[in-house]
Amino acid sequence: MNTKLGYVWPPILVATIFLGGWQLLVVVQDLKPFLLPAPSLIASEFSSGATLMWGAAYYTATTAFLGLIFGTVLGLITALLAQRFITVDKLAAPLAAGLATVPIIALTPILNNMFNITSRTPRVLVTAIIVLFPIFVNVTRGLIQVNATQLELMRSLNATPRTTLRVLRIPNAIPFFFTGLKIAAPLAVIAALVAEYFGGPQQGLGSRIASAAANTAYGRAWAYVLAAIITGLIFYLAIIALERLVTPRTAQVTTTA
Amino acid sequence: MTPTQLDSKNPGSALAISGLSKVFNVGNPNEVTALSDVHLDVHTGEFISLIGPSGCGKSTLLRVIGDLTAFDSGSVQVAGKSPEEARKERLYGIAFQQAALFDWRTVTRNIELPLELAGWQKSQRQERSAELLDMVQLSDFAHHRPWELSGGMQQRVAIARSLAVDPPLLLMDEPFGALDEMTRERMQNELLKIRMETGKTIVFVTHSIPEAVYLSDRVVVMSPRPGRITAEIEVNLGDRNEMTRESDHFFRCVTSVREALRVHDTSNSTSSSHRGEI
| Pair A26, A45 in one domain | no
| pLDDT at residue A75, rounded to an integer | 92
Mean pLDDT of chain A: 86
Q: Are both A81 and A166 inside the same structural domain?
A: yes
Nearest residue in chain A measured CA to CA from B172: A153
As for how many domains chain B has, the answer is: 1
Q: Residue A244 carries which side chain, given as an amino acid letter?
A: R
Instruction: With respect to residue B33, please indicate whether it lies within any of the assigned structural domains.
Output: yes
Kindly state whether residues A25 and A81 are assigned to the same domain. Answer: no
A166 vs B contacts (CB less than 8 Å):
none
**Nearest-by-Cβ selection for A159 from B102, B117, B145:** B117
Tell whether A229 lies on the interface with B, counting CB pairs under 8 A: no
CB contact under 8 A, B117 and A163: yes
CATH code of residue B185: 3.40.50.300
Give the pLDDT score at B10.
45
Residue B185: name the closest of B218, B213, B154, B160 by CA: B213
Q: Which of A147, A151, A152, A254 is best to mutate for the B interface (most B CBs within 10 A)?
A: A152
Report pLDDT for A5. Answer: 64
| Alpha-carbon distances, residue A149 vs A81, A141, B87, B96 (angstroms) | 24, 17, 16, 7
Q: Both A26 and A152 in a single domain?
A: no
A145, A146, A157, A249: best to mutate for the B interface, most B CBs within 10 A = A157
Q: Give Cα B173 to chain centroid, integer Å.
A: 5
Helix or strand holding residue A26 (H, E):
helix A2-29
Q: What SS3 class is residue B46?
A: coil
Q: Is B203 exposed, middle or buried (0-12, 13-18, 19+ CB in 10 A)?
A: buried
Domain-located, residue A257: no
Regarding whether A50 and A21 lie in a shared domain, the answer is no
Give kind and range of the element (H or E) at residue B137.
none
The pLDDT value recorded for residue B271 is 43
> Would you call B100 and A168 a contact, using CB atoms and an 8 Å cutoff?
no
pLDDT of A139 above 90? yes
- Cβ distance of B66 and A167 shorter than 8 Å: no
Under an 8 A CB cutoff, do A157 and B92 touch?
no
* Contacts of residue B213, Cβ cutoff 8 Å, sequence gap at least 6: B219, B235, B237, B250, B253, B254, B257
Length of chain B: 278
CATH of the domain at A54: 1.10.3720.10
What is the DSSP annotation of B55-115? TSSHHHHHHHHTTSS--SEEEEEETTB-HHHHHHTT-EEEE-SS----TTS-HHHHHHHHH
Identify residue B162 by its one-letter amino acid code. Answer: S
Chain B residues touching A149 at Cβ < 8 A: 96, 98, 100
Q: Does A215 touch chain B (CB under 8 A)?
A: no
With respect to residue A18, please indicate whether it lies within any of the assigned structural domains.
yes
Query: Which residues between 58 and 77 in chain B have a beta carbon less than 8 angstroms from any beta carbon of chain A?
Result: 63, 66-68
Of the two residues A45 and B170, the one the predictor is more confident about is B170
Contacts of B109 by beta carbon, 8 Å cutoff, 6+ apart: B102
Cβ distance B219 to B196 under 8 Å?
Answer: no
Mind telling me how many Å the CA of B87 is from chain A's nearest CA?
Answer: 6
The answer to whether the Cβ–Cβ distance between A174 and B113 falls below 8 Å is: no
Q: Are residues A58 and A118 in the same domain?
A: yes
Q: Which residue has the higher pLDDT, A97 or A219?
A: A219
The pLDDT of residue A215 is above 50: yes
Give how far Cα B208 sits from Cα of B184, B205, B212, B261, Å: 11, 9, 6, 11
Contact B87 A168 (CB under 8 A): no
User: How many domains would you assign to chain A?
Assistant: 2
What is the pLDDT, as a whole number, of residue A3? Answer: 60
Whether residue A1 has pLDDT greater than 90: no
> In chain B, where does DSSP find H-type helix?
3-9, 58-65, 83-88, 107-117, 122-135, 151-162, 181-198, 209-215, 248-277
What is the mean pLDDT for each group of 10 consecutive residues in chain B (278 residues)?
43 86 84 88 93 89 94 91 93 93 94 95 94 90 92 92 93 90 88 90 93 92 89 84 82 89 62 36
**Predicted local distance difference test score (pLDDT) of residue B65:** 95
pLDDT tens digits for A85-101?
766 556 666 766 776 67
Chain A residues touching residue B113 (CB < 8 angstroms): 157, 167
Residues of A in contact with B98 (CB under 8 A): 147, 149
- Amino acid B36 reads S
Question: What is the rounded CA–CA span in Å between residue A53 and residue A57?
Answer: 6
Residues A163 and A151 sit within 8 Å (Cβ to Cβ): no
Give the range of the structural domain holding residue B21, as residue numbers without chain letter. 3-91+167-247+256-264
Subunit contact B113:A155, Cβ cutoff 8 A: no
For residue range B107-143, list pLDDT tens digits in order.
999 999 999 999 999 999 999 999 999 888 899 999 9
CB-CB under 8 Å, B102 with A150? yes
Mutation pick from B63, B103, B105, B148 vs chain A, by most beta carbons of A within 10 Å, is B103
- CA–CA dist A129, B262 (Å, integer): 64
CB-CB neighbours of A251 under 10 Å: 8
Compute the nearest-CA separation of B72 from chain A (Å). 20
Burial of A124 (0-12, 13-18, 19+ CB in 10 A): buried
Task: Specify the pLDDT at position A250.
Answer: 42
- Angular region, B17: left φ>0, alpha ψ -120 to 50, beta rest: beta
Segment A218-241 shows an average pLDDT of: 92
Say which amino acid occupies A161: P
Q: Is residue B150 part of a domain?
A: no
**C-beta atoms of A157 and B145 within 8 A:** no
Q: Per-residue confidence at A228, pLDDT binned at 50, 70, 90?
A: very high
Q: Flag whether B274 is in a domain.
A: no
Does the residue B102 lie in any domain? Answer: no
Same-domain pairing of A106 and A224: yes
Q: What is the model's pTM?
A: 0.83
How far off is chain B from A80, nearest CA to CA, in Å?
A: 20
Query: A11 lies in which domain range?
Result: 1-30
A166/B contact by beta carbon, under 8 A: no
Residues of chain B positioned with their CB less than 8 A from the CB of A177? none
Task: Establish if A175 belongs to a structural domain.
Answer: yes
Taking CA atoms, what residue in A is nearest to B148? A252
Inside any domain, residue B78? yes
Give the pLDDT confidence score for residue B6 in this predicted structure: 43
Q: Distance (Å, rounded) from C-alpha B203 to C-alpha B65?
A: 10
- Is the pLDDT reported for residue A256 higher than 80? no
Residues A73 and A120 in one domain: yes
Mean pLDDT of A94-118: 78
Quote the percentage of chain A above a pLDDT of 90.
Answer: 49
- Per the CB < 8 Å rule, is A149 touching B100? yes
Q: What is the pLDDT of residues A188-209, one digit of tens each?
A: 999 999 999 888 888 899 999 9
Identify which of A149, A159, A171 has the shortest CB distance to residue B96: A149
Long-range contacts of A114-121 (CB under 8 A, 24+ apart): A117/A199, A117/A200, A118/A200, A118/A201, A119/A200, A119/A201, A120/A62, A120/A63, A120/A66, A120/A201
Q: Which of B30, B83, B29, B48 is nearest to B229 (CA)?
A: B48
Same domain as A48, residue A21: no
Instruction: Looking at the structure, tell me whether residues A21 and A88 fall in a common domain.
Output: no
Same domain, A1 and A101: no
